[in-house]
Amino acid sequence: MRLALGIEYDGTDFHGWQKLADCASVQAEVESALGFVANETVAVQCAGRTDAGVHARCQVVHFDTEAQRPMRGWMLGANARLPDAICVRWAVEVADDFHARYAARARRYRYRILNRTIRPALLHRYVAWERAPLDADAMHRAAQALLGEHDFSAFRAAQCQATHAQRDMQQIDVRRDDEEIIIDVRANAFLHHMVRNIVGSLVAIGRGEQPEAWMGELLHGRDRTVAGATAPPQALCFLGPLYPAEWGLPAEATL
C-alpha cells in the first residue's frame, strides 16, 4: 500500500528536510514517527527538499507500507510522536505509481520581508528584515521578466546538484501588505537557493539600487556572481506542490 501525507513544519531547529547522519532533520523525525505507527522501517520520498531554517505549509511525501491503519490513525499516531514543530495534516491512500516528487506539476514558495525601521521580535523566525523602504510595485514589475521557461543559472547556488538550470517560472507576484513585502513564486521546479537568490536581486531593485530592467539582464547573463545576495532562509516557506486531479489528493495539493 502506498500513502501520501501532507506535512507542515517550522524549519528553524532543523538542518533542512533531508536526513543527515549527525544533524536534526525533518525527514528523520517523520520516518521515525511513521515507523513507530507502522511497526516497521519507513522511508519517505518528498516533493521538494527544503534547506536549513526553511519552513513548509504542505510538504507532500509518499511511502510504502504493509501495515493496515485507518488514515486517521496514521495522522494521529504520527503526530503523537512528532516534535511540536512538525505535524501531519492529512493522509490518503494513493495509486502504487504515485510519486511525490515526479508526479508534481508545480511547486509554490512564499517569501516574507518585514519592511520597517525596527527589527522584528515576534516574527523573527519567519520573516527577513529590511529597514530601507522597498518599492513593491517596482519589484513586481521587474520580476515579470522571469516568467516562462529559461535558464536560471544566474539564481543557482554553486553547490546545486541539478543536471541543468532550465526551469519554467509559472507565476511570480510581489505585493505589500502593510509593513510586509510578500513574494509568491510558482514554477515546475526550483534550483538550490533559486527563490532566495531571486529575492536578493529583487530587494536591490526595491531599494532603488538597480533599475527594473536588471532582472532580465541577470536572467539572460546567467552569471550568479553579478546577481543579488542570497536572502536569509527563515523568511521562506514551501507552500507545497500541485498534482493533477487524477491522484485524488486534497484540494490544496491539486491543480
Q: What pLDDT is recorded for position 44?
A: 98
Per-residue b/e over 238-251, b at no fewer than 16 CB within 10 Å? Answer: bbbbbbeeebebee
The catalytically annotated residue of 13, 22, 51, 184 is 51
The residues, any chain, with a CB within 8 Å of residue 178's CB and separated by 6 or more, are none
Three-state SS at 3? strand
Residue 160 has pLDDT above 90, yes or no: no
Task: Determine the pLDDT at residue 159.
Answer: 84
Q: Residue 161: what pLDDT?
A: 83
Neighbours of 165 (CB within 10 A): 17
- Which three three-digit cell numbers place residue 49? 527538499
- Tell me the mean pLDDT in the region 119-134: 98
Q: What is the pLDDT of residues 208-239, one digit of tens each?
A: 999 999 999 999 999 999 999 999 999 999 99
Q: Is 51 considered catalytic here?
A: yes
Residue-wise pLDDT for 84-104, tens only, equals 999 999 999 999 999 999 999
Residue of 126 and 163 predicted with greater confidence: 126
Distance in angstroms (rounded) separating the CA atoms of residues 57 and 65: 25
Q: pLDDT-based confidence at 143, cuts 50/70/90?
A: very high
Neighbour count for residue 36 (Cβ, 10 Å): 15
Q: What is d(CA 8, CA 79) in angstroms, rounded to the nearest whole number?
A: 11
Give the Cα separation of 30 and 83 in Å (integer). 9
d(CA 173, CA 39): 45
Whole-number pLDDT of residue 22:
86
Per-residue model confidence as pLDDT tens digits over 186-208: 999 999 999 999 999 999 999 99
Q: Are the beta carbons of 146 and 219 closer than 8 angstroms?
A: yes
Residues 144-170 have a mean pLDDT of: 94
